[in-house]
């Protein structure tokens, strides 16, 4: 059992809180006080090099074989988010794990051996109730190559985490997620392929007004732009000094405790609450 697995299995998570881990690129893992294990966009292999020639420059925080998951949530189908070499391993080793993802991920999940009964469709501008996890989605703007890409808020009950996935800075699209008062924002900052750079990401953070902001999607694949995490911290200090902007190492755990916040009445009235199965 690796040090990472040890922490993920055993760390104390206070009631109402969540413990999160950056996995590199746009990947995060979350553990709830009830022991639920949620993975977001885990890129844990060298599939980008195998398929696109994009060499991985930083080691993954864990191997696909080490993943113990109840949910895998994906923002879109690109290889660095829907990992075609890791998802089959995760799906095989975690037979009860389910996969929530937008329509563009359908083919990739099917090819990875995830049957329809284990897939939940994430539609844009909806609230999706997944048992003790609620996922709110809005459209991301990642261009024609991923038209169903979403940005989302993972609502763990006491803590809400906003992840942008890959997108340009689109405040009008993101407004419903801002209105949820996310506690944590996880913006991409690589600044190429249509993604926000560190300044755009800091603008987003200043609009979302979370307690904590942690940048991601940098320094994993050189062809995807270097990203400027220090610039992000500096820009946040200027634009939104009340937000704790911070860097975490891949694999490092951070416990976020709950904090009183207004109810998410805007989204709850605007969105249907049904979750949807894929049909093939
Ligand atoms: Zn990406």
Q: Is residue 43 part of a domain?
A: yes
Q: What average pLDDT does the chain have?
A: 91
Instruction: Record the tokens describing residue 11, joined without a space.
Output: 């760390």
For residue 75, report the distance from its CA to the centre of ligand 1, in Å: 9
For residue 29, report the distance from its CA to the centre of ligand 1, in Å: 16
Q: 4: helix, coil or strand?
A: helix
Residue 224: give its domain's CATH number. Answer: 3.60.15.10
Q: Is the per-residue pLDDT at 269 higher than 60?
A: no
Instruction: Record the tokens describing residue 179, joined without a space.
Output: 């209105």
Domains of the chain: total: 1
Q: What does DSSP say about strands 212-213 and 184-186: parallel, antiparallel, or unpaired?
A: parallel
User: By residue range, what is the domain housing residue 220?
Assistant: 3-253
Predicted confidence at residue 153, as pLDDT, reads 98
Q: Is residue 20 part of a domain?
A: yes
Q: Is residue 265 part of a domain?
A: no
For residue 78, report the distance from its CA to the centre of ligand 1, in Å: 7
Q: Is the per-residue pLDDT at 267 higher than 50?
A: no
Q: Is residue 213 part of a domain?
A: yes
> Above pLDDT 70, what percent of the chain?
92
For residue 193, report the distance from its CA to the centre of ligand 1, in Å: 8
Q: Is residue 212 part of a domain?
A: yes
Q: Is the per-residue pLDDT at 19 higher than 60?
A: yes
Q: Is residue 223 part of a domain?
A: yes
- Report the distance separating Cα 218 and Cα 226, nearest Å: 6
Q: Is residue 111 part of a domain?
A: yes
For residue 225, report the distance from its CA to the centre of ligand 1, in Å: 11
Banded pLDDT at 274 (limits 50, 70, 90): very low
Degrees (nearest 5) of the Cα angle 213, 78, 27?
Answer: 35
Half-sphere exposure of 10 (CA within 13 A, CB side): 7
For residue 224, report the distance from its CA to the centre of ligand 1, in Å: 8
Residues 201-254 pLDDT 10s = 999 999 999 999 999 999 998 888 779 999 999 999 999 999 999 999 999 999
Lowest mean pLDDT across 96-100, 158-162, 269-273: 269-273
Predicted confidence at residue 263, as pLDDT, reads 57
Q: Is residue 192 part of a domain?
A: yes
């Amino acid at each position: 059992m690796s040090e990472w697995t040890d922490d993920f299995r055993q760390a104390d998570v206070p009631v109402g809180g969540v413990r999160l881990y950056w996995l590199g690129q746009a990947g995060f893992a979350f553990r709830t006080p009830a022991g639920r294990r949620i993975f977001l966009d885990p890129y844990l292999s060298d599939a980008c090099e195998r398929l696109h020639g994009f060499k991985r420059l930083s080691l993954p925080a864990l191997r696909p074989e080490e993943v113990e998951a109840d949910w895998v949530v994906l923002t879109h189908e690109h290889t660095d988010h829907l990992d075609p070499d890791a998802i089959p391993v995760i799906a095989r080793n975690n037979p009860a794990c389910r996969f929530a993802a937008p329509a563009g991920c359908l083919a990739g999940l099917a090819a990875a051996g995830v049957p329809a009964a284990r897939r939940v469709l994430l539609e844009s501008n909806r609230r999706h109730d997944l048992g003790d996890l609620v996922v709110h989605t809005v459209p991301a703007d990642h261009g024609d190559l991923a038209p169903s890409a979403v940005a989302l808020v993972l609502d763990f009950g006491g803590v809400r985490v906003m992840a942008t996935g890959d997108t340009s800075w689109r405040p009008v699209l993101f407004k419903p997620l801002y209105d949820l008062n996310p506690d944590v924002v996880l913006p991409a900052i690589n600044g190429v392929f249509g993604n926000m750079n560190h300044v755009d990401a800091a603008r987003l953070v200043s609009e979302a007004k979370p307690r904590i902001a942690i940048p991601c999607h940098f320094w994993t694949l050189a062809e995807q732009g270097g990203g400027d995490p220090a610039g992000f911290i500096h820009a946040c200090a200027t634009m939104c000094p009340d937000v704790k902007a911070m860097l975490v190492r891949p694999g490092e755990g951070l416990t976020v405790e709950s904090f009183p916040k207004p109810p998410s009445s805007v989204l709850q009235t605007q969105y249907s609450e049904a979750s949807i199965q894929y049909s093939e």
